[in-house]
């Protein structure tokens, strides 16, 4: 292994060996793997134009750059692989049922309701829930915990169906983006009076991408202008063909408001599940599931709604969920009733965690508290590093000056606080995915902080330090936070509707864009004569051919179809002896182009102005 002088330091060079590093690794981590002195790597990076310290988390580009320079193949381990390796080191795996086929028992389908805004998702989820109202009356008060289960009699058997009751595809996508597939069936709600709309298609795309069967609920059939046949016909274009038209998708006409045919929808869900899916899980193993919602409850501490996917979760179990851990102190169902154990597909509210997990985080039961704590600690350290690496602005000696001088970097920093982690993540996910189209190189958006709970002083301080806008979703400032924000002029915005937040941020981003101008032609005039005017120069006697000629507008001179002079201005404009501000098509006028005198008969003067282009 040679040791060439790289900027005067000795660094062992590789010969293409693979160096595996976690996200957010530091130069020290790199140095460890190749037996080098971390300080030497700092120097190498400096010579490559980047100032980083040995222990700071760097992003993947930097690791790759360093690898290429030193002739190593850098592989940044994906978060999923990292987590798998972490669990393996404790002899654990997430996601697969233990045992053989015989150990698997049928489990209820888990359903997510998606569709265009206002098509009735929320109302439908309410209506479905109330089909079980008789049953509920025996229990406590209905609680919104992020999911609920209903029971239906189907072919003389009592069957359960689990509904995730965060409607909308943001939550679905955010979970899927984190590798958590919780949904077995998607109910696509389409209002019969409105038909297929953009978010209908988006929802459909998400469901199809996730390979999840769809049941279409054609809603609002109580309305006079309802046209359920049209919905069926529209959706055939997207590959959803109704059974009655020879396809294999069930379309069910319902009215969430008038409670029509909700049973039919539930039946269709079960039929679709039985026909298309083999939903089974092993109930007799340590429980595993997904946290679908979590928040900090003033009285009860962190609470998380967990959808058990396999095994049976019991009070007293040691669990780890994302970077939260603890022992299940109590479990409640969606009626607020205590439960001792929860099997596959059952959503329960879990109390006893030490912190609030994220929506989409996996939950595992482990042998003892100590293991849960170790896994949680390792995950949070890793997450911290990865975030540091992602949020740190790369300072490149080469580019910094240029970027600042050119003003080409425009970045909107955001801090998102929300009442439940599901909404924070859904919002973050939606915001970072705002489609900026052609402008994505000019502006960017970065979420530099996020969390569940009230907006606190920390959030405001972070906003001050990084010039960020704070977004409060269903939360308000606590303590002195509001006061400080006011005093320091921090922009804090409150929303209760995700779409509104997205729209405003999108508008803000587009407002940050530098205006772009486009040329708008005003008029053309043909030169008929050229007059010499003492002390003024040549003036063109013209006939306005198209549009209007305006004084002070920009002009160019065209001769035989070729632009002979650009960047001119109509400095004087006369109608006979009088000054005019504009002269319209068909009239004659005298045009002076300032000091530009090379005007010939038959030239064409084109005038135009620059207008700011609206950003689309």
Return the C-alpha torsion angle 68, 72, 78, 83, nearest 10.
Answer: -150
- Contact pick of 223, 378, 394, 575 for ligand GDP (by CB under 6 A): 223
Nearer to ligand GDP, 120 or 347 (CB): 120
Looking at residues 543 to 572 of the shown chain, list those that interact with ligand GDP (rule: CB under 6 A).
none
The closest alpha carbon to 218, from 246, 242, 240, 251, belongs to 251
Nearer to ligand GDP, 222 or 341 (CB): 222
Nearest distance from C-beta of residue 108 to ligand GDP, angstroms: 23
- Contact pick of 26, 112, 162, 255 for ligand GDP (by CB under 6 A): 255
C-beta contacts of 9-16 below 8 A and 24+ residues apart = 9/37, 9/39, 9/40, 9/43, 9/44, 10/40, 11/36, 11/37, 11/40, 11/41, 11/44, 11/70, 12/36, 12/70, 13/70, 13/71, 14/70, 14/71, 14/72, 15/71, 16/71, 16/72, 16/73
Nearest distance from C-beta of residue 171 to ligand GDP, angstroms: 12
Nearest distance from C-beta of residue 197 to ligand GDP, angstroms: 11
Distance CA 605, CA 549 (A): 9
Nearest distance from C-beta of residue 164 to ligand GDP, angstroms: 13
- Contact pick of 22, 24, 67, 120 for ligand GDP (by CB under 6 A): 120
Nearer to ligand GDP, 256 or 351 (CB): 256
Nearer to ligand GDP, 497 or 601 (CB): 497
Q: Are 565 and 529 in contact (CB under 8 A)?
A: no
The closest alpha carbon to 574, from 559, 587, 556, belongs to 587
Nearer to ligand GDP, 260 or 330 (CB): 260
Instruction: Tell whether residue 449 is a contact of ligand GDP (CB under 6 A).
Output: no
- Contact pick of 219, 385, 413, 423 for ligand GDP (by CB under 6 A): 219
Nearer to ligand GDP, 147 or 303 (CB): 147
Nearer to ligand GDP, 196 or 469 (CB): 196
- Contact pick of 69, 118, 341, 526 for ligand GDP (by CB under 6 A): 118
Nearer to ligand GDP, 120 or 344 (CB): 120
H and E: helices and strands count for the chain: 16, 34
- Contact pick of 119, 295, 382, 450 for ligand GDP (by CB under 6 A): 119
Looking at residues 149 to 188 of the shown chain, list those that interact with ligand GDP (rule: CB under 6 A).
167
Which residues have a Cβ under 8 Å from the Cβ of 195 and sit 6 or more positions away? 227, 230, 231, 234
Distance CA 616, CA 614 (A): 6
Distance CA 83, CA 358 (A): 15
Instruction: Tell whether residue 117 is a contact of ligand GDP (CB under 6 A).
Output: yes
The length of the chain, given as a count of residues: 616
Instruction: Tell whether residue 202 is a contact of ligand GDP (CB under 6 A).
Output: no
- Phi, psi (5° rounding) for residue 605? -95, 120
Instruction: Tell whether residue 310 is a contact of ligand GDP (CB under 6 A).
Output: no
Nearest distance from C-beta of residue 417 to ligand GDP, angstroms: 23
Instruction: Tell whether residue 220 is a contact of ligand GDP (CB under 6 A).
Output: yes
Nearer to ligand GDP, 123 or 373 (CB): 123
Three-state SS for 530?
strand
The closest alpha carbon to 323, from 363, 370, 365, belongs to 363
Burial class of residue 121, CB neighbours in 10 A (0-12, 13-18, 19+): buried
- Phi, psi (5° rounding) for residue 522? -100, -45
Instruction: Tell whether residue 129 is a contact of ligand GDP (CB under 6 A).
Output: no
Distances (CA, A) of 400 to 54, 90, 384, 392, 412: 21, 45, 26, 14, 18
Q: Which region among 120-128, 308-316, 407-415, 452-460 touches ligand GDP (by CB under 6 A)?
A: 120-128
- Contact pick of 33, 130, 230, 257 for ligand GDP (by CB under 6 A): 257
Tokens matching residue 547: 């549009």
Which residue minimizes CB distance to ligand GDP? 120
Three-state SS for 584?
strand
Nearer to ligand GDP, 117 or 580 (CB): 117
Instruction: Tell whether residue 123 is a contact of ligand GDP (CB under 6 A).
Output: yes
The closest alpha carbon to 216, from 196, 206, 225, 164, belongs to 196
Q: Which region among 111-119, 370-378, 406-414, 501-509 touches ligand GDP (by CB under 6 A)?
A: 111-119
Burial class of residue 611, CB neighbours in 10 A (0-12, 13-18, 19+): exposed
Q: Which region among 214-222, 270-278, 376-384, 508-516 touches ligand GDP (by CB under 6 A)?
A: 214-222
For ligand GDP (CB under 6 A), the number of binding residues is 16
Residue 214 parent element (H or E) = strand 214-219
Nearer to ligand GDP, 119 or 232 (CB): 119
Nearer to ligand GDP, 122 or 181 (CB): 122
Instruction: Tell whether residue 227 is a contact of ligand GDP (CB under 6 A).
Output: no
Nearer to ligand GDP, 203 or 273 (CB): 203
Instruction: Tell whether residue 121 is a contact of ligand GDP (CB under 6 A).
Output: yes
Nearest distance from C-beta of residue 509 to ligand GDP, angstroms: 25
Q: Which region among 22-30, 216-224, 474-482, 483-491 touches ligand GDP (by CB under 6 A)?
A: 216-224
Cα torsion angle, 220, 224, 229, 232, sign? negative
Q: Are 490 and 510 in contact (CB under 8 A)?
A: no
Distance CA 113, CA 276 (A): 18
Distances (CA, A) of 401 to 18, 65, 389, 392, 395: 34, 21, 22, 17, 10
Q: Which region among 50-58, 218-226, 403-411, 478-486 touches ligand GDP (by CB under 6 A)?
A: 218-226
Q: What share of the chain is helix, strand, coil (3-state, %, to 5)?
A: 30, 35, 35
Instruction: Tell whether residue 256 is a contact of ligand GDP (CB under 6 A).
Output: yes
- Using CB under 6 A as the criterion, which residues of the chain lie in contact with ligand GDP when the complex forms? 115, 117-123, 167, 219-220, 222-223, 255-257
């Amino acid at each position: 292994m040679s040791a060439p002088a790289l900027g005067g330091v000795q660094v062992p060079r590789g010969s293409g060996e693979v160096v595996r590093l976690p996200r957010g690794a530091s130069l020290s981590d790199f140095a460890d793997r190749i037996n080098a002195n971390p300080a030497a790597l700092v120097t190498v990076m400096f010579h490559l134009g980047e100032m980083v310290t040995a222990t700071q988390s760097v992003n993947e580009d930097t690791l790759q750059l360093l690898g290429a320079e030193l002739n190593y193949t850098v592989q940044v381990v994906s978060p999923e692989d990292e987590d798998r390796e972490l669990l393996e080191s404790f002899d654990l795996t997430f996601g697969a049922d233990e045992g053989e086929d015989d150990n698997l028992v049928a489990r209820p389908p888990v359903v997510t309701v998606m569709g265009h805004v206002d098509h009735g998702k929320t109302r439908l989820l309410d209506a479905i829930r109330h089909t079980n109202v008789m049953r509920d009356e025996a229990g406590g008060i209905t609680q919104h915990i992020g999911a609920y289960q209903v029971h239906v009699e189907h072919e003389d058997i009592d069957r359960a169906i689990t509904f995730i009751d965060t409607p909308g595809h943001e939550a679905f996508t955010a979970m899927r983006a984190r590798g958590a597939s919780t949904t077995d069936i998607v109910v696509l709600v389409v209002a019969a009076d409105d038909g297929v709309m953009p978010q209908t298609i988006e929802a459909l795309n998400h469901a199809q991408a996730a390979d999840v069967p769809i049941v279409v609920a054609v809603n609002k059939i109580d309305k006079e202008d309802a046209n359920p046949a049209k919905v069926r016909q529209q959706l055939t274009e997207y590959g959803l063909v109704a059974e009655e038209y020879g396809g294999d998708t069930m379309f069910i006409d319902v009215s969430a408001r008038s409670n029509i045919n909700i049973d039919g929808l539930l039946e269709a869900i079960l039929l679709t599940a039985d026909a298309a899916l083999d939903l089974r899980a092993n109930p007799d193993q340590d429980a595993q599931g997904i946290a679908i919602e979590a928040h900090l409850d003033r009285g009860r501490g962190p609470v998380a709604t967990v959808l058990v996917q396999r095994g049976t979760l019991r009070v007293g179990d040691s669990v780890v969920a994302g970077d939260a851990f603890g022992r299940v102190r109590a479990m409640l169902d969606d009626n607020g009733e205590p439960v001792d154990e929860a099997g596959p597909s059952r959503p329960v509210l879990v109390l006893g965690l030490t912190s609030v997990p994220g929506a989409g985080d996996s939950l595992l039961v482990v042998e003892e508290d100590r293991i849960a704590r170790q896994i949680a600690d390792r995950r949070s350290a890793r997450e911290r590093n990865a975030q540091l690496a992602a949020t740190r602005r790369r300072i490149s000696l080469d580019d910094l000056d240029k970027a600042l001088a050119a003003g080409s970097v425009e970045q909107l920093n955001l801090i998102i606080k929300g009442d439940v982690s599901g909404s924070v993540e859904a919002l973050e996910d939606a915001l970072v995915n705002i489609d900026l189209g052609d402008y994505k190189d000019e502006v960017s958006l970065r979420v530099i902080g996020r969390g569940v709970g009230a907006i606190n002083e920390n959030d405001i301080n972070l906003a001050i330090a990084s010039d960020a806008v704070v977004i409060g979703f269903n939360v308000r400032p606590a303590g002195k936070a509001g006061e400080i924000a006011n005093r320091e002029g921090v922009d804090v915005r409150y929303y209760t509707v995700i779409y509104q937040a997205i729209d405003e941020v999108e508008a803000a981003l587009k407002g940050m864009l530098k205006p772009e101008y486009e040329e708008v032609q005003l008029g053309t005039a043909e030169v008929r004569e050229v007059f010499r005017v003492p002390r003024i120069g040549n003036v063109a006697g013209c006939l306005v051919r198209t549009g209007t000629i305006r004084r002070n507008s920009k002009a160019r001179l065209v001769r035989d179809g070729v632009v002979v002079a650009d960047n001119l201005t109509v400095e004087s404009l006369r109608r006979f002896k009088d000054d005019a501000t504009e002269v319209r098509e068909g009239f004659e006028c005298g045009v002076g182009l300032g000091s530009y005198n090379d005007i010939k008969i038959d030239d064409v003067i084109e005038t135009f102005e620059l207008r700011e282009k609206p950003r689309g």
